[in-house]
Amino acid sequence: MKKTLLLLLFIATVVSCNNTKKETETETEKETASATNENVRTYRGEFIYTDDAAVLKGNNFIYGVTIDDKSQELADKVSKVEKDDYDMVPVIITGVVSPNPKAETEEVWEEVITIKEILYVSDKPAKTQIEIEEKKS
């Protein structure tokens, strides 16, 4: 009888330890995922893409945009809205801002944003704040 009780107690202990380990692993995975998602934020600004660079300009920031598949996708969507090559189009995206590794050696934006998700692209270009007119002489 004692052997059976001792065996049941041992099995219960082993099973409860395994459950605790799985719960701890799950909590660690959740913490890692949330730490990664903490850096992803939503940004609202005007986007422009040229042959040389892409820029996202907001009310309080200007970031260079990392050229990758997502920025290319955004550029394609924006190009359908642009009236000329220098139109900026209002967009809302999620992304991660990081220091620009080229900033130490080249004259570039200090920070770049890597686009994670495209949430909105306006159907009209942003209103031009400065217009330059040529005068005919």
What digits encode the pLDDT tens for the residues 39-82? 899 999 999 998 888 999 999 999 999 999 999 999 999 999 98
Distances (CA, A) of 77 to 22, 91, 124, 128: 44, 10, 12, 19
pTM of the model: 0.65
Confirm whether 63 is domain-assigned: yes
Q: Is 68 helix (H, G, I), strand (E, B) or coil?
A: coil
Confirm whether 62 is domain-assigned: yes
* 94 exposure class (CB count in 10 Å sphere: 0-12, 13-18, 19+): middle
Q: Is 62 helix (H, G, I), strand (E, B) or coil?
A: strand
**% of the chain residues with pLDDT over 90:** 45
CA distance 9 to 11: 6
Residue 114 confidence (pLDDT) above 90:
yes
Confirm whether 58 is domain-assigned: yes
Domain that holds residue 49: 41-121
